[in-house]
Amino acid sequence: MKAGCSTSSTMLLAAVGLTAAVDKLTLPTFLNSHMALQRAPLSARLWGWASPNATVTAAMDVESVKATPDADGLWIVELPPQPASTGKTIIVTDGTTRITLDDVAFGDVYLCSGQSNMEFSVNAAFNSTLEIADSVNYPDLRLATVQRAMSDKPEQDAPSKANYTWARSSPAAFAPAGGDNFSWFSATCYFFGREVYKVLGNGKVPIGLIASDWGGQSVESFSSPEALADRTCGGTLPGHAAASSSQDYPSPPGSPGLSQAARPPGLALPADEPWPGPSQLWNAMIYPLRLMRFTGATWYQGEANWADPPGYSCRFPAMIADWRRQFGLPDLSFFYVQLAPYRLDFSRFRLAQGAALQLPKVGFAVAIDLGDLTSPYDAIHPRRKQEVGRRLALSARAIQYADRSVVYQGPTLSAAQFVSSNTIWGTSYGARLSFVPGTADGLHAAGTADCVACCEESPFEVMDATGLWTRAAMGITGDEVSLRGVPHPIQGIRFDFEGMPQCSLYNGVGGPDNHQGLAAPPFQYCAYGTHDGQPAWAASCEPNECAPVGIPVPSAGVAVAVAALGFTVLVPLPQFFKLAKARSSAGVSLFTVIITMFSSMLNVGAALITKWRQITACGHLGWSCVPNLLDLFQNIQVAIIAAIQLVMVVAYPPNAKRARAMAATTLGMAIILWVACVCASLAAPCGKRTLAFAAVQRSAGSLAALVHYAPQLLATWRHRASGSLSLLTYTLQVVGGYLNIYQSITQGVSPWPVWTPWLISTSMQNAVLVSAFVFDARRWRARQRARGKDSAGAVLKALFQSPPLGNYSYDAFTGNSPTVGGLRRPRANAEGKALVVFNIERNVQLAIGRPRVEGRFNDREFVKLRQFALEGATARET
């Protein structure tokens, strides 16, 4: 050992500030036999009091170190860093008094503090008899408990609460099972230390645990005056005013701090028991231990502060930072327990505890699923302390011991992506939630401990534009959660945001009592921030129906969206060229055109209203704006196709008078509707009435879209031909429709009522395509056979190149008539003897004189008809 008093020890002597000298060599209570001191790389400390004129020597093995007491008699020595070891003997003497410390271990030492759930002892936990009997298997787990005490000034020493000072883990170190549930030893502290003990080699590294706790006490009682005066909240938020602006509660006479009205019922103190005020527990139960070296600290407290989340969000990190400063341990690890379920709503307070996570080397254990409604010690004192200790130890493994292989948190939200889908009843909204990589492996839902409804209802809530929260259906796919079927735009998402949640998310396998997976921490996610920009523990989400949805979109998603946008532009082109070449609207159902026009215009108007903010925000959203606008452009594409067909119906009508009147009326009403939608979009794009108007438009447009292909399907079957329909356009539309439905289903966002109408509509569209394919194939093959050709390999080419059918007439006496599609159009028909009348319905009327014979024919039969014409009949156009 090295001799002398180090500079750091000298500074500590000056900082302690004792007021009275001691004549006899003494040590503080917790420097005693069977104790555990901190191993290397830190240097363990010994301290005590002696005559200022004495020289104190501490010897271990063959080394010794000396110190000289200051004027107040305080001396401090720092032992050389020791490896993990046990069975050491330390002798401290001042020349007249000799103190022997036997069975000293060097390992990792943890301080456990907080209120009643930390004080709750092993003898009251579940399976306490077995747990106490099992304690004999961990002999180098060393235990000590500080007596309850309070003081107005810093104390020099703290007595032991147990009937021993330090003890090896054994049944004798615990109060008997079934006794006082606030005796010794702390259950949370013990089960945490036991897990760390096992992880570090099951005894290769001794573990020392000092429990210093008192039920029902506030964070202010455990904080020094310096911590309470810290307006920077431990450096987490410089200039933070929460400590001075948080809500104050009236206090009983002579008892500063929170009143009993702010305490949960299970935490009330007896009427005749004094109430510790600010810093009084710090003075009596923490300050006396400040010279000891620790690896870390565990903390289970908050119920006494539950009514003041904003204040706690500042005072808690301020206390942690101050403990590190006061102990001289800037790297002290700190692990806290998020409050367990209770009748009171601790949801915001649990988020306030998370303010401490801004500090380095801070972790926490989720206890949201570890309720105990039948606890004989009140539900606020759940007995599942083994699982609490296990989860704390997982945090220690990852943070203190840098074990990268361990998963120490449940599914932790990393991002939320909002989505929407159209249905005949309006727009359905949803969200996809992704989690921090590694925390959601084996993602599943399970009921919390002692749940009643369990997972019969979703643990997720969503907020609408009025601030109302409602349950949202949950689906799990791989390591993602989808929320679906929400009838309104989602402004915020909450998970297990209540006093006693019934259902939780887990990774791994099992639930709260399987001790394998971990529960997800509760959260509140706001799409547009909270009220007045306050943290989530201080305010709910801010409704903002006008804000653009600036959700980050992966580059791959943007690329697909851009490709899809280009696809929507190209789809109408084949239909345009087909109609322009044919110069005929034969085969186009006017009713389908009318319904399509109205459906697409309604949907475009609704999309303009609901997407206007996204449109105006494209300047700063960049390419990520494209996916938000696909709905708008897809409806515009449908409108373009309908407009092309409408123009052709007007230009080349099968029935000029009737078709032109219907087309003009349709076009006029569509223009009026378009102008009305645009004006409504620009005038009040985010007003509730306008959004309701958009919902009505969407419902009407979707309902029309459900049936708008039915007339075309009937017309195609009636004519037995595709006429002027572009099979390429229909093919692309059908493929796109099925891809959109597939995407909607596989994303897990849209329930079946959303995508079923579109499946029906796309199936009708597909039926039109198949029918046209079949009829055109039959016609082409018949013509090939009539010409002596039967090349099946050219069928597909012919489908996209075959001219449209029209109403043709044929003059057998005109040998040089122009050819249209291989058939001849007459120049004159002055000498006809027999009249053959036929049209695209393939109805044949043979009139020889007055008698008339009606029938149907195909291309092969037409050859015979043409032969008949060559023999003297004249065929002419109807």
- In this model, does residue 845 exceed pLDDT 90? no
Q: What is the extent of the structural domain holding 434? A: 413-533
Is the domain of 178 the same as that of 323? yes
Q: Give the whole-angstrom CA distance, residue 238 versus residue 230.
A: 10
Is the domain of 382 the same as that of 283? yes
Q: Which two tokens stand for residue 217?
A: 């006490």
| pLDDT score, position 531 | 65
Mean pLDDT (whole number) for 655-668: 59
Q: 719, 751, 776: which is the final residue of a domain? A: 776
Considering its fold, how many domains does the chain have in total?
4
pLDDT digits (tens, 9 = 90+) for 490-547: 888 999 998 889 999 999 877 777 778 899 999 988 877 776 666 766 677 766 544 4
In a domain, residue 381? The reply is: yes
Is the domain of 383 the same as that of 445? no
Identify the DSSP state of 216: T
pLDDT digits (tens, 9 = 90+) for 442-460: 999 999 998 888 898 899 9
Is the domain of 392 the same as that of 428? no
Most confident of 8-17, 495-504, 707-716, 752-761: 495-504
In a domain, residue 233? The reply is: yes
In a domain, residue 527? The reply is: yes
Q: Dihedral through CA 233, CA 238, CA 239, CA 240, nearest 10?
A: -40
Side-chain-side CA neighbours of 757 within 13 Å: the count stands at: 20
By mean pLDDT, which of 299-303, 362-366, 639-643, 754-758 is the weakest? Answer: 754-758
- In this model, does residue 298 exceed pLDDT 80? yes
Confidence of residue 586 (pLDDT cuts 50, 70, 90): low
- In this model, does residue 856 exceed pLDDT 60? no
Mean pLDDT (whole number) for 753-773: 63
Q: Give the whole-angstrom CA distance, residue 453 versus residue 447.
A: 8
| pLDDT score, position 504 | 94
| pLDDT score, position 343 | 85
Q: 746, 776, 806: which is the final residue of a domain? A: 776
Is the domain of 115 the same as that of 136? yes
- Cα 413 to chain centroid, rounded: 4
Is the domain of 402 the same as that of 424? no
- In this model, does residue 130 exceed pLDDT 90? yes
Q: What per-residue string of b and e applies to 586-602 under the rule 16 or more CB within 10 Å gives b?
A: bbbbbebbbbbbbbbbb
In a domain, residue 500? The reply is: yes
SS (H, E, C) 478-510: CCEEEEEEECCCCCEEEECCCCCCCEEEECCCC
- In this model, does residue 86 exceed pLDDT 90? yes
Mean pLDDT (whole number) for 607-620: 56
By mean pLDDT, which of 8-17, 173-182, 313-322 is the weakest? Answer: 8-17
| pLDDT score, position 217 | 93
Average model confidence (pLDDT) for the chain? Answer: 73
Is the domain of 607 the same as that of 701? yes
Closest CA to 66 of 88, 50, 81, 82: 50
Share of the chain above pLDDT 90, in %: 39
Confidence of residue 225 (pLDDT cuts 50, 70, 90): very high
By mean pLDDT, which of 162-171, 324-333, 563-572, 611-620 is the weakest? Answer: 611-620
Residue 632 burial (CB count, 10 A): 20
Q: Name the more confident of 834 and 673.
A: 673
In a domain, residue 206? The reply is: yes
By mean pLDDT, which of 245-254, 282-291, 463-472, 625-634 is the weakest? Answer: 245-254
| pLDDT score, position 508 | 87
Using N-to-C axis directions, what is the helix angle for 752-786 and 727-746, rounded to 10°? 150
Is the domain of 197 the same as that of 320? yes
Mean pLDDT (whole number) for 472-491: 87
SS3 377: coil
For residue 256, CA distances in Å to 231, 269, 273, 307, 558 come to 20, 15, 14, 16, 59
Q: Give the whole-angstrom CA distance, residue 564 versus residue 579.
A: 25
- In this model, does residue 15 exceed pLDDT 50? no
| pLDDT score, position 289 | 96
| pLDDT score, position 631 | 58
In a domain, residue 682? The reply is: yes
Is the domain of 667 the same as that of 610? yes
Mean pLDDT (whole number) for 64-93: 94
pLDDT digits (tens, 9 = 90+) for 248-262: 333 333 333 333 334
The angle formed by the CA atoms of residues 207, 212 and 216, to the nearest 5 degrees, is 140
Mean pLDDT (whole number) for 849-864: 40
Mean pLDDT (whole number) for 578-601: 64
| pLDDT score, position 540 | 75
Tokens 């301020």 appear where? 318
SS3 42: coil
Most confident of 72-76, 589-593, 685-689, 730-734: 72-76
Closest CA to 716 of 620, 841, 602, 612: 841
| pLDDT score, position 463 | 87
Is the domain of 418 the same as that of 312? no
Tokens 């699982």 appear where? 387
| pLDDT score, position 851 | 32
In a domain, residue 9? The reply is: no
Is the domain of 189 the same as that of 300? yes
In a domain, residue 8? The reply is: no
Q: 408, 427, 461: which is the final residue of a domain? A: 408
- In this model, does residue 575 exceed pLDDT 50? yes
Confidence of residue 415 (pLDDT cuts 50, 70, 90): confident
By mean pLDDT, which of 173-182, 258-267, 680-689 is the weakest? Answer: 258-267
Is the domain of 162 the same as that of 304? yes
Most confident of 1-15, 113-127, 735-749: 113-127
Beta strands 503-506 and 444-447, pairing class: antiparallel
| CATH code of 216's domain | 3.40.50.1110
